[in-house]
Amino acid sequence: MEETSQQNKKVVYSAVQPSGNLTIGNYVGSIRNWIDMQDDYTCYFAIANMHAITVRQDPALLRRHTLELAALYIACGLDPEKCALYVQSMVPQHAELCWTLNTVTYVGEMQRMTQFKDKSAKHADNINMGLMDYPVLMAADILLYLADYVPVGADQTQHVEIARDIAIRFNNRFGETFRVPEALIVKQGAKIMSLQEPTKKMSKSDENINASVYLSDDKDTVIRKFKRAVTDSDNRIVASEEKPGVSNLLAIYCAFRGCTLEAAEKEFEGRGYGDFKLAVGETVADAIAPVQAEQKRLLVDKTYLNGVLKEGAERAFKTARRTLNKVYRKVGFYQGE
Ligand code: TYM
Q: pLDDT tens across 305-331, in order?
A: 999 999 999 999 999 999 999 999 999
Rounded distance from Cα 151 to ligand 1 centre (Å): 9
Q: Which residues contact 96 (CB under 8 A, 6 or more apart)?
A: 324
Domain total of the chain: 2
User: Are both 147 and 254 inside the same structural domain?
Assistant: no
User: Are both 132 and 23 inside the same structural domain?
Assistant: yes
Is residue 236 situated within a structural domain? yes
Q: Give yes or no for residue 283 CB within 6 A of ligand 1.
A: no
Please tell me whether residue 200 adopts helix, strand or coil conformation. Answer: coil
How far, in Å, CA of 242 to CA of 245, rounded?
9
Q: Give yes or no for residue 156 CB within 6 A of ligand 1.
A: yes
Q: Which residues contact 210 (CB under 8 A, 6 or more apart)?
A: 195, 196, 225, 228
User: Are both 42 and 114 inside the same structural domain?
Assistant: yes
Is residue 202 situated within a structural domain? no
User: Are both 45 and 135 inside the same structural domain?
Assistant: yes
Note the pLDDT tens digit of each residue in 156-170.
Answer: 999 999 999 999 999
pLDDT at 7: 67
Is residue 165 situated within a structural domain? yes
Rounded distance from Cα 331 to ligand 1 centre (Å): 31
Is residue 205 situated within a structural domain? no
**Radius of gyration of the chain, Cα coordinates, nearest whole angstrom:** 21
Rounded distance from Cα 190 to ligand 1 centre (Å): 10
Please tell me whether residue 43 adopts helix, strand or coil conformation. Answer: strand
Rounded distance from Cα 49 to ligand 1 centre (Å): 13
Note the pLDDT tens digit of each residue in 122-135.
Answer: 999 999 999 999 99
Q: Give yes or no for residue 191 CB within 6 A of ligand 1.
A: yes
User: Are both 104 and 180 inside the same structural domain?
Assistant: yes
Q: Whose CA is nearest to atom 26 of ligand 1?
A: 15
pTM check: above 0.85: yes
CB under 8 Å, gap of 24 or more: what pairs does 323-327 form?
323/93, 323/97, 323/143, 323/144, 323/145, 323/146, 324/93, 324/96, 324/97, 324/144, 326/177, 327/97, 327/100, 327/170, 327/177
User: Are both 100 and 177 inside the same structural domain?
Assistant: yes
Is residue 210 situated within a structural domain? no
- CATH value at residue 127: 3.40.50.620
Is residue 79 situated within a structural domain? yes
Q: φ and ψ at 277, to 5 degrees?
A: -65, -40
To test the ligand 1 pocket, which listed residue (11, 12, 13, 16) has its Cβ within 8 A of the most ligand atoms?
A: 16
Taking the CA of residue 152 as reference, the ligand 1 atom at the shortest distance is 22
Q: Which residues contact 21 (CB under 8 A, 6 or more apart)?
A: 204, 212, 214, 215, 216
Provide the residue range defining the domain that includes 176: 2-185+302-331
| CA angle (53 as vertex; 52, 54 as ends), nearest 5 | 90
How far, in Å, CA of 332 to CA of 171, rounded?
14
Please tell me whether residue 11 adopts helix, strand or coil conformation. Answer: strand
User: Are both 153 and 223 inside the same structural domain?
Assistant: no
How far, in Å, CA of 219 to CA of 213, rounded?
11
- Whether residue 2 is predicted with pLDDT greater than 50 in this model: the reply is no
Q: Which residues contact 226 (CB under 8 A, 6 or more apart)?
A: 195, 213, 249, 277, 278, 280, 281, 284
Q: Give yes or no for residue 181 CB within 6 A of ligand 1.
A: no
Q: Give yes or no for residue 152 CB within 6 A of ligand 1.
A: yes
Note the pLDDT tens digit of each residue in 6-59.
Answer: 568 999 999 999 998 999 999 999 999 999 999 999 999 999 999 999 999 999
Determine the average pLDDT of the residues in 168-189: 97
End-to-end CA distance of the chain: 32
Is residue 214 situated within a structural domain? no
Q: Report the catalytic residues.
A: 119, 201, 204
Is residue 282 situated within a structural domain? yes
In this prediction, residue 337 has a pLDDT band, given cuts at 50, 70 and 90, of confident
The fraction of the chain above a pLDDT of 70, given in percent, is 98
**Separation in Å, CA 296 to CA 46, 68, 300:** 20, 9, 7
Contact 184, 1 (CB under 8 A): no
